[in-house]
Structure 1
Amino acid sequence: MTAWFVTGTDTEVGKTLIAAALVHRLRERHPRVVGMKPIAAGSMQLPDGSIGNEDVAALRAASSVDVPPNLMNPYLLNAPVSPHIAAKKEGVLIDIRQIVDAFHALQERADAVIVEGAGGFRVPITDTIDGADLAQALGLPVILVVGLRLGCLNHAMLSAESIQARGLRLAGWVANRIAPDMPEQAANLEWLARRLDAPCLGDVPWLPTPDARVAAQHLRLPAPH
């Protein structure tokens, strides 16, 4: 069984794009690969007319295994806000044990699983638990998506320190060039490569139209664990 937990330096840094791209890369090695989004905040009408979440739909499209929706996405919240706020407004009690059980069920159905967290690593899930607690409960090595924009160096270092403080292994990080006009991108990447105690798994260029298959061409998989 191969699995990783994908988190980001912040929201809107391309976590879903990278998570789906990792699913595509894993499909080159394994016949049964699935993406998981335990908590998705923000529902919408999908092209097929159903109500769902855009990130979950992207992971499902990348996956090679068809699994029940409640396993791929145990919690779908309507409002596109922090999960703890959306859940409280909707009267939903998020239970990490239910997420862990869903993950274990996916383990039985797939050879590899990519779990995408919500927002940044410490995003609140309830008033008392956050994304770090979820990652810790799953016990998976972490892949950090660094959205290259002003402030990313600080966010990357704080995220890496938080991951390690929870006793989790930072399996690698991915640079995602989300701000094409950001100055000194090469210098920022060079600094991150020196300071982050984990390998760089890829440098994904600015994609005007995000495409997981294209992004996958710029990634390599972490070392087995």
Structure 2
Amino acid sequence: MLKLFITATDTDAGKTYAAQALAHAFVSKNKKVAVYKPISAGCERIHHDLVNEDALLLLAQSNCQQTITQVNPIAFEQPIAPHIAAAQLKQEINLTDIQEGYERITALETDIVICEGAGGWRLPLGQGKFLSEFVQASHQDVILVVNMKLGCLNHAVLTYQSIIADGLKCLGWIANCPEDMPYLTENISELTTLLPIPKLAVLPFDKDITKAAKRIDISLLTSLL
């Protein structure tokens, strides 16, 4: 089983978009794909349940008959830092709960589990804990999404170094290009030099996720199956 964790240089950096495209690409190759977004903030209350739009988008690309609660077990209504949202409700975000939810996903008959983080690599959970500790405990391989904007070179290198310092493998990076960035080509070229991992895709925003999926080179990843 290939276990992938999608992180990014910051929040709203394109993690969900990249994760959708990856899931679609694998499904198009007849792979069984399950998805997991353990924590979300910024949810709509539907029939007494908190439903996150990003989690729904991921669920739409999976093919393992999951429920939205399985995909996103920890959800908060306010679009704020999850540990602050939890504190306001006098709750705690527990690493054990996140791990147990993940184990239920990996117990499915699946070839690939795509797990999307929240925020950046060092998302605080409160009590001095970070979401990255869950990635370490579950031995996932990491894909880094770089939000192509001013400052991304520094953010990308620091995030990559942090992943490696945590003893994890970063399999590759994806350039997410939602806006017209000055000197975009030059910045992507510089990152290709700075990051000693493969560039898996350059993703300009496209509402058609099928087109985005076709832009991803998953040959390196499928070779691990």
Letter in 2 for 1:189: I
Contact preservation (8 Å) 2:50, 2:75: no
Equivalent residues in 2 for 1:24-173 (5 A)?
24-45=24-45, 51-109=50-108, 110-173=110-173
Letter in 1 for 2:130: D
**Following the alignment from structure 2 to structure 1, what is the Cα–Cα distance between the partners of residues 98 and 29?**
26
Instruction: Mark the CA change 1:30 to 1:98 in structure 2 (over 3 Å): closer, same or farther.
Output: farther
For 1:79-127, what per-residue CA distance to the aligned partner results, in whole angstroms no more than 9, with x for missing partners? 1111111111122221112221221221121221100000100121223
| Alpha-carbon distance, 1:51 to partner | 4.2
TM-score of the pair, normalised by structure 1: 0.92
Consecutive unaligned residues of structure 2, counting only runs of 5 or more, are none
Q: What's the Cα RMSD here?
A: 1.9
Instruction: Mark the CA change 1:85 to 1:211 in structure 2 (over 3 Å): closer, same or farther.
Output: farther
Who is 1:215 aligned against? 212
| Alpha-carbon distance, 1:38 to partner | 0.5
Paired positions, count: 221
Letter in 2 for 1:113: V
**Following the alignment from structure 2 to structure 1, what is the Cα–Cα distance between the partners of residues 185 and 101?**
40
Who is 1:194 aligned against? 193
4+ aligned runs moved over 4 Å, structure 1? 48-51
**Following the alignment from structure 1 to structure 2, what is the Cα–Cα distance between the partners of residues 160 and 55?**
24
Letter in 1 for 2:90: G
Instruction: Mark the CA change 1:31 to 1:196 in structure 2 (over 3 Å): closer, same or farther.
Output: closer
Consecutive unaligned residues of structure 1, counting only runs of 5 or more, are none
Identity of aligned residues (%): 36
Contact preservation (8 Å) 1:202, 1:219: yes
